[in-house]
Amino acid sequence: MNKEVIVFLILILGACDQNNSSLEKIPTDRTIGVVGCSNTFQSVYGYRWAGGNQLWYVHRDNMHDYDSGAVMQWANAEQNFWETFDKYLTTNPKTSKVWWQLCIPQDQSHVTAEEAATVIQELRKRIPNVQIYVSPLSDFPDYPCEITGIEGVERAKSLANELDEMHDDVFMGPILGPLYSKEIGQE
């Protein structure tokens, strides 16, 4: 009986040790932060698997950290997105740029550039001299997203242009998509 308990403890401790070693391997030298929604984190995860090494590292277990991270939610300081952002920023102190993918649900397609500027102000507070790259969520021509609809994606396109024109430290890009059904998996 004692032998079984010892074997069990060794297995448990070995598993714990493995978890710690995998955490130590998470890169901390990334220079481009991320703001957005679940699609954004999925893009970052794909970027990593394609060999990208400048955007913040997103582990599979953290894929849903930014779920529902629409522009209006980021603009609301009471949401917990900034807490999550700050954790990633602390892990990556060399961050000097941020990619902000503008996710806009169709029922929030009225969002203004002034409301979105709140997010820019928060980024400037956290990262001095930050360069911000904005892009809309990808088009999905075959099957528009049920959340954003066509209205949300179109507003994201126009909002990205407005923010680029209004702010010297905000730039367009990268533009992703359009994404066709043959290129993406099931939701």
Give percent of the chain with pLDDT exceeding 90.
53
DSSP string, 16-27: HHHHHHHHHTS-
Give the confidence band of 28 by pLDDT, cuts at 50, 70, 90: confident
Of the candidates 135, 65, 72, the one whose C-alpha atom is nearest the C-alpha of residue 100 is 135
pLDDT given for residue 185 in this prediction = 65
Structural domains in the chain, CATH included, are 28-183 (3.40.50.1110)
Residues 155-182: tens digit of each pLDDT: 999 999 999 999 999 999 998 888 888 8
Sign of the Cα pseudo-torsion (6, 8, 11, 12, in order): negative
pLDDT for residue 144 is more than 60? yes
